[in-house]
Amino acid sequence: METKAFQAESKKLLDMMIHSIYTHKEIFLRELISNASDAIDKLYFRSLTDDSVGMNKEDFAIRIDTDKDARTITVTDNGIGMTAEELEANLGTIAASGSLGFKTDNELGDDSQIIGQFGVGFYSAFMVAKRVTVYTRAFGAAKGYKWQSEGVEGYTIEETDEAPANGTRIVLELMDDTEEEGYSEFLEQYRIQGLVKRYSDYIRFPIQMEVSHRKLKEGTEDEYEDVISLDTLNSMVPLWRKNRSELTEDDYNSFYQEKFVDYMPPMAYKHVHNEGMPAYDALLYIPAKAPFDYYTREYEKGLQLYSNGVLIMEKCGDLLPDYYSFVRGLVDSEDLSLNISREMLQHDRQLKAISRSIEKTIKSELAQMLKKDRDKYAQFFEAFGTQLKYGVYADYGMHKDDLQDLLLFESSRGDKPVTLAEYVENMPEEQKEIYYASGASRAAIEALPQTETVLAKGYEILYFTAPVDEFAAKQMVSYKDKLFKSVTESALDLSTEEEKKALDEKQEENKDLLGEMSKALEGKVERVVLSSRLKSHPVCLTSEGDLTLEMQQVLNAMPTDKKVQAKVIMEVNPEHPVFAKLTALAGTDKVAKYAKLLFNQALLLEGMPIENPTEFSELICELM
């Protein structure tokens, strides 16, 4: 018998498979089962239109057998089978299999990942087998054929009477275990059961295997025996293909907890059947709590990706934008072809379209929750809101329009966080801007000297307690044409024309004193001015330009060499007794000391560290 050589491309792929050090060798079973299922599909389809086939849906099955002594795994189907020509064409050349669309000159070695993630087909058997034998008989054919290969050297085809009545039986003789690699594990019943569950659970035909169960011997109380039964290993109908009306919340929740290993039921779920282009089914979940590593680099976003019920990718990151990275779940699409390499999949138009559609769904679900179940939404936002705020800030604010109405902020109005729309609705007629104040906590913000006047005017203030808040606001610039304004911004002026005039005059009168103070604080503040914004406090710090003190603190805490410096203005309350004292001291060397003291006090009120605590405490003692 003559041994035929594989075609060049097949040879290259085979070579790669055999020498693959890839850890996902296990996917060979998924590939063989998928092929068996395809073959059954073809015959089943024919039986629908051709009565002479004489087979019903219940007659079809895929069967797995293992033999520890012979070290073989056998996968048998009663599908359409192959003629001699088909055997030659399908298993002799990769071009016909269409499993991998890559070209001969593709650098496979660098990207062996593709083996794990996409349909690599029949040849993957050679990752675990030293010899593969295929017995097959095309439906209705008299003759059966045997194809055999030990890998790169080539293959043989001959007639046989050992082929199934119709369908294909594939026998893998496993490689010997070496120190580095074990193959015997694939002979274990639990391993096969696990692989079928993991990759092929939703194949539409039963995948059967003889499984031994330890059972109490009848008539005894403590004697056990092994009972062998032919079990179906897969659950066949994917939950997500079922009708929503057939399913209960419990079904969805327990599926989530089992599949995504969470001890808590999800906060929310959504079952999507998208009929249009692209057609896909999806199950989307929002976990009840952020995973412990959620805000770290280790956290990997992504949804499980299925093609027709077969798991292709455990975490497909391309399906979720970063700001929705908390969503867990899966997508199944018939439209996704398997014959694509990883790189092509990333640019795959269908995948992009699915991802866009999923993003829209998530957005509208969140908007719904916000509208219909505010408490739940607040709980959601507590867990994942920071991520949405980062989303506003990221990519130069590209997604802010999509996200701004999903944001919640604490505010001076009460304990419950508010949306931007609510804030704007609550604005008195004459209020032109959206006011915010940043600080470490609610209490710290409420203690800020600058909040007093704004609140006294009856204006609400958004409390930015998370570092990201202010960055997001800066990125948005405005909401519904109202500018975001920090209450610590020096340009913020809520006084009337008359008040302004009076202040200007006072400022002129005290020019020299303020000049002395500015000089004492050179390098720390741009200047010292009088202010009408203060009520009970003697001084406060404000900033000019885009960078506020709080942002300066956040940015400088980051591990970069470049430090930023906000333009700080010290504002003094001319109505405060301290100011009267200062005017009395004008021209003496005490002014500089008071200036430093007041500056440090203002820093403390802002929740900022003071530069030189020793000097500060000495100054206090001295002036006391």
Which residues are near ligand ADP by CB under 6 A? 31, 35-36, 38-39, 77, 79-82, 90-91, 97-99, 119, 121-122, 168
* Residue 59 CB, nearest approach to ligand ADP (Å): 16
**In terms of CB distance, is 89 or 610 closer to ligand ADP?**
89
Pick from 92, 116, 121, 417 the residue near Mg ion by CB under 5 A. 121
Of 15, 22, 138, 30, nearest to 75 by C-alpha is: 30
**In terms of CB distance, is 4 or 376 closer to ligand ADP?**
4
The footprint of Mg ion on residues 169-228 (CB under 5 A) is none
Q: x-or-dash pattern for Mg ion, window 130-149, by CB under 5 A? A: --------------------
* Residue 177 CB, nearest approach to ligand ADP (Å): 26
Q: Residue 39 binds which entry of Mg ion, ligand ADP, none, with Cβ cut-offs from 5 to 8 Å by kind?
A: ligand ADP
Q: Residue 574 binds which entry of ligand ADP, Mg ion, none, with Cβ cut-offs from 5 to 8 Å by kind?
A: none
**In terms of CB distance, is 121 or 321 closer to Mg ion?**
121
**In terms of CB distance, is 119 or 574 closer to ligand ADP?**
119
Q: Residue 98 binds which entry of Mg ion, ligand ADP, none, with Cβ cut-offs from 5 to 8 Å by kind?
A: ligand ADP
Q: Residue 82 binds which entry of Mg ion, ligand ADP, none, with Cβ cut-offs from 5 to 8 Å by kind?
A: ligand ADP
**In terms of CB distance, is 93 or 379 closer to ligand ADP?**
93
Say which amino acid occupies 258. E
Pick from 10, 35, 357, 490 the residue near Mg ion by CB under 5 A. 35
Listed in sequence order, the residues at least 6 apart from 479 whose beta carbon sits closer than 8 Å to its beta carbon are: 404, 420, 423, 424, 434
**In terms of CB distance, is 86 or 433 closer to ligand ADP?**
86
Say which amino acid occupies 381. F
**In terms of CB distance, is 10 or 600 closer to ligand ADP?**
10
**In terms of CB distance, is 338 or 473 closer to Mg ion?**
338
* Residue 31 CB, nearest approach to ligand ADP (Å): 6
* Residue 208 CB, nearest approach to ligand ADP (Å): 15
* Residue 239 CB, nearest approach to ligand ADP (Å): 26
Specify the 3-state DSSP secondary structure of 544: strand
Q: Residue 572 binds which entry of Mg ion, ligand ADP, none, with Cβ cut-offs from 5 to 8 Å by kind?
A: none
**In terms of CB distance, is 118 or 459 closer to ligand ADP?**
118
**In terms of CB distance, is 307 or 386 closer to Mg ion?**
307
CB atoms within 10 A of CB 140: 12
Spell out the alpha helix ranges (H) of 120-188: none
Tokens read off for 23: 């850890």
**Total residues in contact with Mg ion, by rule CB under 5 A:** 2
* Residue 48 CB, nearest approach to ligand ADP (Å): 18
Q: x-or-dash pattern for Mg ion, window 78-117, by CB under 5 A? A: ----------------------------------------
Tokens read off for 32: 């063989």
* Residue 155 CB, nearest approach to ligand ADP (Å): 13
Please spell the DSSP secondary structure of 263-329, one letter per residue: SS--SEEEEEEE-SSSPEEEEEEE-SS--TTTTSTT----EEEEETTEEEEEEEGGGS-GGGTT-EE
* Residue 10 CB, nearest approach to ligand ADP (Å): 10
**In terms of CB distance, is 135 or 285 closer to ligand ADP?**
135
* Residue 77 CB, nearest approach to ligand ADP (Å): 5
**In terms of CB distance, is 102 or 459 closer to ligand ADP?**
102
Laid out side by side, the sheet with 409-411 consists of: 414-418, 409-411, 461-464, 434-438, 482-486, 478-479
Determine contact, residues 37/62, Cβ cutoff 8 Å.
Answer: yes
∠ CA 56-61-65, nearest 5°, is: 160
Dihedral angle sign, alpha carbons of residues 98, 332, 246, 274: negative
Listed in sequence order, the residues at least 6 apart from 361 whose beta carbon sits closer than 8 Å to its beta carbon are: 270, 272, 282, 284
Backbone angles phi, psi at 144, to 5 degrees: -110, 160
Tokens read off for 304: 């499980």
Determine contact, residues 205/235, Cβ cutoff 8 Å.
Answer: no
**In terms of CB distance, is 172 or 473 closer to Mg ion?**
172
CB atoms within 10 A of CB 546: 10
Q: Residue 404 binds which entry of Mg ion, ligand ADP, none, with Cβ cut-offs from 5 to 8 Å by kind?
A: none
Q: Residue 90 binds which entry of ligand ADP, Mg ion, none, with Cβ cut-offs from 5 to 8 Å by kind?
A: ligand ADP
Say which amino acid occupies 55. M
Q: Residue 309 binds which entry of Mg ion, ligand ADP, none, with Cβ cut-offs from 5 to 8 Å by kind?
A: none
Looking at 8-16, 34-42, 70-78, 87-95, which segment touches Mg ion (CB under 5 A)?
34-42
* Residue 339 CB, nearest approach to ligand ADP (Å): 6
Looking at 27-35, 198-206, 402-410, 506-514, which segment touches Mg ion (CB under 5 A)?
27-35
Cα first-last separation, the chain: 109
* Residue 36 CB, nearest approach to Mg ion (Å): 9
Helix H or strand E encompassing 623? helix 613-623
Tokens read off for 366: 């969140």
**Buried b / exposed e along 340-368 (16+ C-beta atoms within 10 A):** bbeeebeebebbebbbebbbebbbebbee
* Residue 135 CB, nearest approach to Mg ion (Å): 18
Q: Residue 79 binds which entry of Mg ion, ligand ADP, none, with Cβ cut-offs from 5 to 8 Å by kind?
A: ligand ADP
Determine contact, residues 425/460, Cβ cutoff 8 Å.
Answer: no
* Residue 123 CB, nearest approach to Mg ion (Å): 10
Q: Which residue is nearest to ligand ADP (CB)?
A: 121
Determine contact, residues 327/320, Cβ cutoff 8 Å.
Answer: yes
d(CA 432, CA 434): 7
CB atoms within 10 A of CB 101: 13
* Residue 151 CB, nearest approach to ligand ADP (Å): 15
Looking at 118-126, 227-235, 420-428, 556-564, which segment touches Mg ion (CB under 5 A)?
118-126
Listed in sequence order, the residues at least 6 apart from 192 whose beta carbon sits closer than 8 Å to its beta carbon are: 29, 64, 66, 73, 186, 209, 233
∠ CA 411-414-417, nearest 5°, is: 50
User: Measured in whole angstroms, how far is the alpha carbon of residue 618 from the centre of its chain?
Assistant: 53
Note the residues at the interface with Mg ion (CB under 5 A).
35, 121
